[in-house]
Structure 1
């Protein structure tokens, strides 16, 4: 209990100082109060006061100077401009997108490359040793050591913990409201197969995660890309227009820290979208994969928070926070539960027993929240370090998103830069990036790239970013 209190105090102090830096109240070069003064003013120990400054230092906001104290190093004036709202309207088809995805994937995982293109957190950010213990414990505790089928709904312990965790975003779920899946993409696939047919049209954000595009194409669906703001998500007026014209049969949105744009819909937008979809009786699939990786004081609400009729199918997984290879995901399908169960039974029969039990136990013992606190702090620091380095090293007209969670940045480069050529040039220096053309079926984003900061920040990563900036300048 005492440890939790100490954590709260030092994070609160660090948060207050960070806000003053980001608001420009504290400027580059300003000297911060001494550790002793922070200790006295807040009635805390010297070590707790130091923790506050260590947290700020890890984010690149301040630095310690020998025999002098701590100083502000972060300068908001060096940050790039914000990315503009997307305006998709030039249909191109899927062949070019598929070719670029195949090329990028052929290089992913190669040792020695700096993986800015990888859409999962690096292994060193994950609690591998504790997960190993959870697997061993599950093997010992389960009567059949995980060899038997689970019920089609999924592991009871896991479903109970997912339902319990839903309180963090205002959810009121029970274990019977949850169906497990083999990762979030499997969850989305079960939803699409259950609710739409070949030739139907689904509405998505633009840009959108390429896996969603590939899934929709494989099912013979038409994809309508909606204009999307880099901060607030889809333009609601555009969605409402398409609903009135009866052009879509389903909507699939990433409401929190979307991939690749990093946008988060404000609460009033979420509520409005849920009401619109309910009014037109069109199913709404929510991919809430990144919601737990927030940088603020609280987890953002979900679309499901405002669901009164069961029209929202809330999907997620632990692939972006805990264990990508375990393939543990879920769906809270609302009124579509029976359809989803039938689809899962036909396609999967059952989810993997052992990994579900292990993660259920991991959540039950409070280890998940402890891990999330650490990874959020690391990723927030990474995002600020990336933004600062891009601002200092890339061309002046570069635009970048400002995500408040997740681990993805969307970078809009000069119109004369071909992002795929930049990708090829970067590979020669063992640097992998994701060209923007991967995230659309239209002729757009050719001058954009997605960068992941889900890794340990070090000199090699910083030099990799600087090299991309240099290569970009050469291509203009």
Structure 2
């Protein structure tokens, strides 16, 4: 339970205690916000924030035109997917064909895309972005058709620096390099500190884009054991970097893709200390850091970086505008090397879209948008978990992320999710099979589902269909 001097968090803690003690039971309706205000003297803002906080803890759920109710999830013990146990080797099993298959239909409007990790257009402020685009073309020299300076749009870099205060950063625009998306930032960072034949370490499961990127650069990947809740196992990390020749480490510390794990603050701090001790660059993918369900933005590894050993990468592809290709790297002490790789590979970032996003951050519209999308994703996550627990076979294990886009689901070992993908596609439902998130022979009975779609009755039926199909496979 959380403790805080903030009144809304104190009130949230009281409600949580009542639910966990059984004073409030599943299905019980909570007093309305107005009723609580009348009884306690709290402001509407305090009670609203308290209810939102309790909802983010998956203890209550809101029902349109009805109010707040104690959630089914609050009373259920949800089996957590098994921690990974990869072999500490750099073996490589081909996955490209399966990845091509899953992502080859990403624009098909007839398919329910539970496989894709970005927000649906319905969740994005497209009209406001369009206005920003017109304004940017008027403001920029030559209407934005010219190259920018190599380091990137100054307006955008200033706003990213200002935004870094949320996770404990103290940056200026000179500390940031813009890129065409987060993967581009990670690519520049990897090329700056490695060469073909080097070995890097990462989580397991890991984002397939990073795995394939490393392979394309001629790098070997050592996957380390990872807890589905707390991220990479520190003992395995210590052993790997002390006994192997490791050139870089690539991690997602917040709401990892695909597992949804979040490293505790002490793990982040200890990881940075280890990287500094062994002089191993840490490339941190913090693309989901702003999509938290709790009361505050989590720190990242860069928060604890005093020596510049951490290169933090992010973008707005998961929060605001996937197609704008707006990303950045905070390069630490590797700025010169990363600027050089950017010059050689991209020269300049997209001029107009980077100006649009810079203005969007500057005018406060981004935070307003994030509040809305965080609440939607939190609702979706809880809804998915409820339907999975009701519809999937007994013994199904599901993650409980505190932010981001993804649920990691572990099914009966009889089910091969690569084959299950084909079965689901017969019903126009796309899932991401677990094996694409590793170079090793593991996660064949796991899958990743994205909850970035608007919640509808049709979406509910799609998840229920997956549950029925999975049940049939276990008979």
Shared fold (TM-score greater than 0.5)? Answer: yes
SS in 1 for 2:72: coil
SS in 1 for 2:95: helix
Q: Which residue of 2 aligns with 1:5?
A: none
Q: Any conservation in 2 of the 1:79–1:387 contact (CA below 8 Å)?
A: no
What is the rounded CA distance, in whole Å, between the counterparts of 1:23 and 1:138 in structure 2? 55
Q: Which residue of 1 aligns with 2:30?
A: 32
Alpha-carbon distance change, 457 to 182 in structure 1, aligned in 2, over 3 angstroms? same
Q: Given the alignment of the two structures, is residue 112 of structure 1 paired with residue 93 of structure 2, yes or no?
A: no
Q: CA RMSD in A?
A: 2.7
Q: Which residue of 1 aligns with 2:206?
A: 208
Q: Which residue of 2 aligns with 1:458?
A: 456
Alpha-carbon distance change, 24 to 342 in structure 1, aligned in 2, over 3 angstroms? farther
Alpha-carbon distance change, 57 to 92 in structure 1, aligned in 2, over 3 angstroms? closer
1:234-290 per-position Cα deviation (integer Å, ceiling 9, x unaligned)? 001111111111331110000100000100111110111001011101111000000
Q: Which residue of 2 aligns with 1:355?
A: 353
Count of residues in correspondence between the two structures: 468
Q: Structure 1, unaligned stretches of length 5 or more? A: 1-7
Q: Which residue of 1 aligns with 2:323?
A: 325
Alpha-carbon distance change, 74 to 321 in structure 1, aligned in 2, over 3 angstroms? same
Q: Any conservation in 2 of the 1:60–1:381 contact (CA below 8 Å)?
A: no
1:421-464 per-position Cα deviation (integer Å, ceiling 9, x unaligned)? 21111111111100000100000000000000011111111111
- In the TM superposition, residue 348 of structure 1 has moved relative to its aligned partner by 1.1
Q: Structure 2, unaligned stretches of length 5 or more? A: 1-5
TM-score w.r.t. length of structure 2: 0.92
Q: Any conservation in 2 of the 1:78–1:392 contact (CA below 8 Å)?
A: no
Q: Which residue of 2 aligns with 1:61?
A: 60
SS in 1 for 2:104: helix
Q: Any conservation in 1 of the 2:88–2:224 contact (CA below 8 Å)?
A: no
- In the TM superposition, residue 107 of structure 1 has moved relative to its aligned partner by 2.3
Q: Which residue of 2 aligns with 1:220?
A: 218
Matches within 5 A, 1:347-426: 347-426=345-424
TM-score w.r.t. length of structure 1: 0.92
Q: Given the alignment of the two structures, is residue 301 of structure 1 paired with residue 299 of structure 2, yes or no?
A: yes
Alpha-carbon distance change, 44 to 282 in structure 1, aligned in 2, over 3 angstroms? closer
Partner residue of 1:334 out of 308, 332, 355: 332
- In the TM superposition, residue 143 of structure 1 has moved relative to its aligned partner by 2.7
Q: Any conservation in 2 of the 1:91–1:442 contact (CA below 8 Å)?
A: no
Q: Which residue of 1 aligns with 2:3?
A: none
What is the rounded CA distance, in whole Å, between the counterparts of 2:88 and 2:266 in structure 1? 30
Alpha-carbon distance change, 120 to 470 in structure 1, aligned in 2, over 3 angstroms? same
SS in 2 for 1:107: coil
1:369-392 per-position Cα deviation (integer Å, ceiling 9, x unaligned)? 000000001101111111111111
Matches within 5 A, 1:46-57: none
SS in 2 for 1:145: helix
1:177-224 per-position Cα deviation (integer Å, ceiling 9, x unaligned)? 000000000001101111101110000000000000110110110000
Partner residue of 1:171 out of 163, 166, 169: 169
Alpha-carbon distance change, 165 to 49 in structure 1, aligned in 2, over 3 angstroms? closer
Partner residue of 1:435 out of 418, 433, 436: 433
Alpha-carbon distance change, 32 to 158 in structure 1, aligned in 2, over 3 angstroms? same
SS in 1 for 2:144: coil
Q: Any conservation in 2 of the 1:313–1:333 contact (CA below 8 Å)?
A: yes
- In the TM superposition, residue 471 of structure 1 has moved relative to its aligned partner by 0.4
Q: Any conservation in 2 of the 1:90–1:442 contact (CA below 8 Å)?
A: no
Partner residue of 2:284 out of 268, 286, 289: 286
Q: Any conservation in 1 of the 2:247–2:280 contact (CA below 8 Å)?
A: yes
Q: Which moved more, 1:158-167 or 1:34-43?
A: 34-43
What is the rounded CA distance, in whole Å, between the counterparts of 1:332 and 1:250 in structure 2? 16
Q: Given the alignment of the two structures, is residue 150 of structure 1 paired with residue 109 of structure 2, yes or no?
A: no
- In the TM superposition, residue 228 of structure 1 has moved relative to its aligned partner by 0.3
Alpha-carbon distance change, 435 to 130 in structure 1, aligned in 2, over 3 angstroms? same
Partner residue of 1:237 out of 235, 238, 241: 235
Q: Given the alignment of the two structures, is residue 246 of structure 1 paired with residue 240 of structure 2, yes or no?
A: no
1:145-195 per-position Cα deviation (integer Å, ceiling 9, x unaligned)? 111111100000000000000000000111100000000000011011111
- In the TM superposition, residue 57 of structure 1 has moved relative to its aligned partner by 8.8
What is the rounded CA distance, in whole Å, between the counterparts of 1:341 and 1:210 in structure 2? 25
- In the TM superposition, residue 41 of structure 1 has moved relative to its aligned partner by 2.3
